[in-house]
A = this chain, B = another copy of it.
Amino acid sequence: MRIVVDAMGSDNHPAPDVEGAVLAAREFGETIILVGDQAQIETELARHNTAALNIEVKHASQKVVMADKPGDIVKGKPDSSLHIGLQLVRDGAADAFVSAGNTGAILGVAMLRPVGLGRIPGVKRPALGVMFPTEERPLLIDNGANADCKPDYLLQFGVMGSLYVERVLERERPRVALISNGEEEGKGNSLIKETIPLLQASNLNYIGNIEPKEFMQGAADVGVVDGFTGNILMKTAEAIASYMNNMIRDELMANPLTVVGGLLAKPAFRRVRQRLNPDEVGGAPLLGVNGVVIIGHGRSSAYAIKQAVSQARRMVTQQVVAAITAGLTG
């Protein structure tokens, strides 16, 4: 198997991206193709023991910078690591693409054919899945690829999310729910209300509508939501978690007794952080494009990159793209 890792993706690229690729090559024994500035990649690679590892480097002459807008990258930087990397997958020279880069740009290049992969036939809108970082790890789909959605998009998100969870996480008959502002009949906006009959008529294991609380507690394996609301939900969850962490730290520091308490309690806080660590989750699969694409967080560590490669690898072995192709046409 050959997996592309975008060396220029993460906020701190290329260090975590290259190290993650090295870790992945070592652990999984697959070939990793690092795409990006060749000189920078080789400098980073020299810091690691890469003997006996299958690591290739593919030069990309253009660099995506912070100020670039997704649209500018898609059209204006045809030799970026995103373009080169996704084209390797498009042309069958690689099996999967992993990047911690600009989500909008990756979506743009990946969805566009012939520049990138294009959609699986029958897919109305590719969508970003993301494993919600509570322990139950339910899949939220869409996490922001589609700000405006129609009922038939949401139905397809349910199909793609269900196939992903079934194949990659090996859960049988994943429970699919709509994420809504209430579980009762009559709750939801018109998008939710119009999607319900489509899900009911599908062969998905649709269990109804759930609120964010039930979703994060694992009441469903797949939470279907439009990309605008899904993105707000994820960002709210991250923001509250970080707000509370900061406040707890400040208050622990506020007097000597609680400082001592905080020190003694440190292992507990560390376990909480581990249990809710988004790095464990890997990255967000872009479902519905004609190839395996995993998008990592901009702040990805080397470990997170390695986890994202592991996830990409499972999507390849479990033939998720073929399953979605069959699921949407069959």
8 Å CB contact of A251 from B144, B226, B262, B271: B271
What is the chain B residue whose CB lies nearest that of A186?
A: B69
Contacts of A229 in B (CB 8 A): 228-229, 232
Shortest beta-carbon distance, A267 to chain B, in Å?
6
Closest Cβ of chain B to A8, distance in Å, is: 21
* A148 contact set on B, CB distance < 8 A: 189-190
Q: Tell whether, in the assembled complex, residue B264 and residue A260 are in contact, meaning their CB atoms are under 8 Å apart.
A: yes
Protomer copies: 2
The segment from A24-32, A158-166, A198-206, A241-249 that touches chain B is A241-249
Q: Which chain B residue lies CB-closest to A265?
A: B261
A69 to B236, CA, bound (A): 30
Closest B residue by C-beta to A143? B181
Asked if A213 is an interface residue, CB under 8 A from chain B, the answer is yes
Q: Which residues on B sit within 8 Å (CB–CB) of A188?
A: 147, 228
| Cross-interface CB contact of A232 among B179, B239, B268, cutoff 8 Å | B179
Chain B residues near A187: list those with CB within 8 A.
147
Decide: A247 near B267, CB < 8 A? Known: A188-B228, A231-B181: no
Chain B residues with Cβ below 8 Å from A239 are: 211-213, 216
User: 26 A-B Cβ contacts within 8 A?
Assistant: A69-B186, A71-B186, A179-B232, A180-B232, A211-B235, A213-B238, A216-B243, A228-B229, A233-B233, A236-B237, A236-B240, A240-B240, A241-B244, A244-B244, A244-B272, A248-B269, A248-B272, A251-B269, A258-B264, A258-B267, A258-B268, A261-B268, A262-B265, A262-B268, A264-B265, A265-B265
- Beyond contacts A147-B190, A248-B269, A258-B265: 20 other A-B pairs, Cβ-Cβ < 8 A, are A69-B184, A148-B189, A188-B228, A192-B228, A211-B235, A213-B242, A216-B243, A232-B233, A233-B233, A233-B236, A236-B237, A244-B244, A244-B272, A247-B272, A248-B248, A248-B268, A251-B271, A258-B264, A261-B262, A261-B266
Interface residues of A (CB under 8 A from B): 69, 71, 134, 144, 147-148, 179-181, 184, 186-190, 192, 211-213, 216-217, 226-229, 231-233, 235-244, 247-248, 251-252, 254-255, 257-258, 260-269, 271-272, 275-276
